[in-house]
Amino acid sequence: MKYALVTGGSRGLGRAACVKLAKMGYHILINFASKSDEAEKTLALVREAGQDGELMKFDVSDAKAVTEAIEGWQKAHEDDYIAVLVNNAGIRRDNLLALMPEEDWHRVLDITLNGFYNVTRLVLPSMQYHKFGRIINTASVSGLKGLPGQTNYSAAKGGIIAATKALAQEVARRNITVNAVAPGFIHTDMTEGLDEKSLKQMIPARRFGEPEEVAAAIGFLASEEASYITGNVISINGGLYT
């Protein structure tokens, strides 16, 4: 059985990625930190897509909780391994840097950057042993361009991009690819409350994207067809930034 772990998989981009990978034949491990009802909805959609899945509740920024969850799963599945990892968990806490509470700075980086480290380091050894793996990290246009009011978020996503490029070089010999997707404005909980009407005027495509459009790129990067693509960042932003 082929397994894929999606962090932050209960809603938005994570949910769309779960469904896309399920359609590709993967058994989906749906990570979430809260809102179990939303995680259950994702699991139902995975089953509608013709596959099954499991819920894995842990905060990616909590190293102990991550270790207990993933090592526990690995012990219960000695003959299996996680072949695809989508590091999608992340939050926004926007503010001007001069007004930003210290907690908001650390929380955004803890989930995105520390979360990437906490999860990837545990999943990677099995990929190396089996000489196959796909790691796809969710970055952002903020990590490429930088956006005012998002210094913490831009720092976190920029760090993810740099980590993607570095790790890709470490593991390529083992047939493991490491890539990132960098969405722009996508219709998810993360963009609720934004002034969509005015923001659309900045986007050449004149619209926000949909989660399924990002998931399509994730699915491609997880596929055999993308085996010679690693260390790359795919921008999905309607031409907002190239």
117 catalytically annotated: no
Cα–Cα distances (Å) from 44 to 30, 41, 163, 242, in that order, read: 11, 5, 33, 36
Catalytic residue among 3, 26, 81, 153: 153
Distance CA 124, CA 182 (A): 22
Q: Any idea how long the chain is? A: 242
* Three-state DSSP state, 96: coil
Sheet holding 233-236, edge to edge: 53-57, 27-32, 3-6, 82-87, 133-138, 176-183, 233-236
Nearest C-alpha neighbor of 81 from the set 127, 18, 131: 127
Cα–Cα distances (Å) from 241 to 95, 202, 204, in that order, read: 22, 10, 9
Distance CA 164, CA 35 (A): 29
What sign has the CA pseudo-torsion 99, 102, 105, 108?
negative
Beta bridge partners of 136: 86, 179
Query: Token pair of 216, please?
Result: 């399509």
* Three-state DSSP state, 45: helix
The vertex-158 CA angle with 154 and 162, nearest 5°, equals: 175
Annotated catalytic sites, by residue?
A: 153
